[in-house]
Every structure is written in C-alpha cells, then in structure tokens.
C-alpha cells in the first residue's frame, strides 16, 4: 500500500517555505511581546517622561512672561513648542528603540543559545531579522500613536496638518531606520558587546538632527554632518506635515533624501548580514558568546 504524504516542512525549498518561516518567526516574536505586559507600562510612560525633560527646560527658558518663547517661535517658525520638541524626541526614541530591539535581536538569540540551532534550519536566514522587525514596527506605531494621544489630551498639542502626510514621511523613513538596525544587528553578532555603538549612533542623532532646535542654529560644519543623517529629514518632514500643513510638493525635499538613504541603508544592512553570515560559518562565531 502506498501512502501519499504532502511534505509541509520548512525544508521544502521555495518562496512559500520562506514565507512560512517568516510567519513562524513573526508569530513567535508576537507571542514573546504579549507575554511580558510590563512592557505596556513603559509604552505609556516613556513617551511622556522623556520629552518632558526638554519641555520643562524649554518652559524655564521661556521665562515667567513667556518672552523667551516669542524668540523661540520666531527662530524656529513653530507655532507650538511642545509639539516641536515632541516630534524630535519621538524620532530619537524610535531610532534608539530600533537599535536596542532589532539591533540586538540576533545577539539575544545567541545569548539564549538558540541562534545556532535556528541557523541550521533550511530557511532564508534574513527572515530571522525580518520576523523581529514586524512586531517592532507594530509596537512603534502604538508608541507613536500613544505619544500623540497623550500630548494631545494632556498638553493640548493640536495637529495643523494631515495625518496621512505624517504617515507618508514615517513610511519613507522606515527603510533607513530599519536598514541601519539590520546592519547593526549583523555587526553585533561579530563584535558581541556593542552598547558603545548604540550610544554613538543615538548620540549623533541627538547632537546633529535638531531634536529640540532648528539645525540652522548649528555651526556650518555641524550642519554639513546633519545633512548626511536621514533622521534630520524625518524630523523636519514630520514637523512640516504636522504643524505647517505641508503637502507632498512641500515634503519632497525631505521625502527624496529619506528614500535615497533608505535604499542605501537597506543595501548596507542586507550586505552586512550576508557578510556576517559567511564570516560566522567560517569562524564558528554564531555559537560563541
């Protein structure tokens, strides 16, 4: 008697097996994410307290009669200093969280001792990183929505632009933010302890990208560096979309560099991953920690 068995294992080569592997990783990451509800507390508290440090300092700089605020409005062209600061600090937090979450995803797996065994399965290995990225993007969308909600309800920050335009700018920034995360995740597997690199990258964003001020206030050489960082365009574009009612035409000077940087960082991220994969197989670094 013959039995026919349709093999449904991940070992079956082809696009479908890659999709199934991606789904499995996505499902696992989502389960881990929802298993630790304490993260939800951070989701509500961090969007509020991190910008507060800068907002309260801005309040002090305004003075009791608000004379400093008039100068700030004139310098920045902003109509709402809280909204202005919140957008900058939120972009900083976005990049920071991606570096810790996506950037350390493979490393955490390595520390748990499961990376090497997963690596042996006949799947598209890049799906390990992509699988981490899915729930991360969902949680970041929640994070940004909660930020908008909290500052809208508690501080009366009002949008003067289109939500769709804000989403468009964010969408254009996803490739560069996550591409950087992919490149970083691959490097971490090689150099192991990479906290200093996170501090360096988020430090660059903090100093050069104008999270609380317009970059026109920076000295010329610092402005030149700022132009090479995609977060500068993301912050500028989001502020324009949120508070100046900018349309696609006005946003193009931010959208085009974001897409170019995005392409660059995705290529760098993927190439670094391939390089790390080859190197790890040669040196056996996957199992070491």
Partner 1 sequence: MIARKDWKVFWRYPLNAVSNIFQPIIWITPIYFMGKAFSTNGQALGFAAYSGTGDYMSFILLGTVLTNYILTVFWGMGYALKEDMDAGVLESNWLTPVSRLLILIGRTLTSLLTTTITSLIMLAIAGALFGFKPTGNTLAAFLTAIPMLLGLYGFGFAFAAIVLLMREANTLVDVSSFLVQGLSGTNFPVQSLPYWLIPVAMMLPLTYGLDAVRGILLKTNTLLPINVEVVLLIVFMFAMLWFGSWFFYRVERRVRTLGTLGQH
Least distance between partner 1 and beta carbon 206 (Å): 6
Using rule CB under 8 A, residue 77 touches partner 1: no
User: Which of residues 62 and 108 has its CB atom nearest to partner 1 in the complex?
Assistant: 62
Query: Which segments of 156-247 does DSSP mark as H helices, in order?
Result: 163-191, 195-208, 220-226, 230-243
Q: Contact region for partner 1 (CB under 8 A) — 70-78, 116-124, 234-242, 268-276? A: 70-78
Using rule CB under 8 A, residue 71 touches partner 1: yes
Among 26, 58, 235, 276, binds partner 1 (CB under 8 A): 58
The Cα 205–Cα 264 span in angstroms is 18
Using rule CB under 8 A, residue 32 touches partner 1: no
Using rule CB under 8 A, residue 54 touches partner 1: yes
Backbone angles phi, psi at 123, to 5 degrees: -125, 170
Nearest to 201 by CA among 96, 278, 57: 96
* 147 to 166: interface string for partner 1, x by CB under 8 A: --------------------
Would you tell me the crossing angle of helices 163-191 and 195-208 to the nearest 10 degrees?
Answer: 150
Using rule CB under 8 A, residue 76 touches partner 1: yes
Using rule CB under 8 A, residue 34 touches partner 1: no
User: Which of residues 33 and 270 has its CB atom nearest to partner 1 in the complex?
Assistant: 33
Contacts 24+ apart (CB under 8 A), 72-75: 75/214, 75/217
Among 153, 164, 196, 220, binds partner 1 (CB under 8 A): 196
Structure tokens given for 195 = 């906290």
Using rule CB under 8 A, residue 33 touches partner 1: no
Given CA atoms 279, 284, 286, 288 in this order, what sign does their dihedral have? negative
């Amino acid at each position: 008697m013959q039995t026919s068995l349709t093999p449904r294992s991940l070992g079956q080569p082809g696009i479908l097996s890659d999709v199934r592997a991606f789904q499995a990783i996505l499902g696992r990451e989502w389960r881990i994410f929802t298993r630790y509800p304490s993260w939800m507390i951070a989701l509500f508290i961090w969007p509020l307290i991190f910008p507060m440090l800068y907002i309260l300092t801005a309040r002090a700089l305004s003075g009791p009669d608000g004379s400093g605020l008039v100068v700030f409005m004139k310098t920045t062209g902003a109509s709402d200093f809280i909204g202005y600061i919140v957008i900058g600090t939120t972009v900083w937090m976005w990049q920071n969280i991606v570096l810790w979450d996506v950037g350390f995803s493979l490393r955490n797996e390595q520390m748990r001792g499961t990376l090497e065994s997963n690596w042996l399965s006949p799947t598209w290995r890049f799906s390990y990183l992509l699988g981490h990225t899915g729930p991360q993007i969902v949680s970041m969308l929640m994070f940004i929505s909660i930020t908008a909600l909290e500052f809208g309800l508690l501080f009366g920050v009002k949008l003067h632009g289109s939500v769709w335009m804000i989403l468009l700018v964010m969408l254009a920034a996803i490739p560069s933010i996550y591409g950087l995360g992919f490149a970083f995740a691959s490097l971490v597997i090689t150099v192991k302890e990479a906290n200093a690199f996170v501090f360096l990258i988020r430090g660059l964003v903090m100093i050069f990208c104008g999270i609380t001020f317009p970059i026109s206030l920076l000295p010329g050489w610092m402005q030149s560096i700022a132009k090479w960082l995609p977060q500068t365009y993301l912050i500028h574009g989001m502020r324009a979309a949120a508070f100046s009612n900018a349309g696609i035409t006005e946003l193009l000077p931010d959208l085009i560099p974001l897409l170019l940087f995005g392409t660059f960082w995705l290529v760098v991220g993927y190439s670094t991953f391939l390089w790390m994969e080859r190197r790890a197989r040669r040196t056996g670094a996957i199992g070491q920690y």
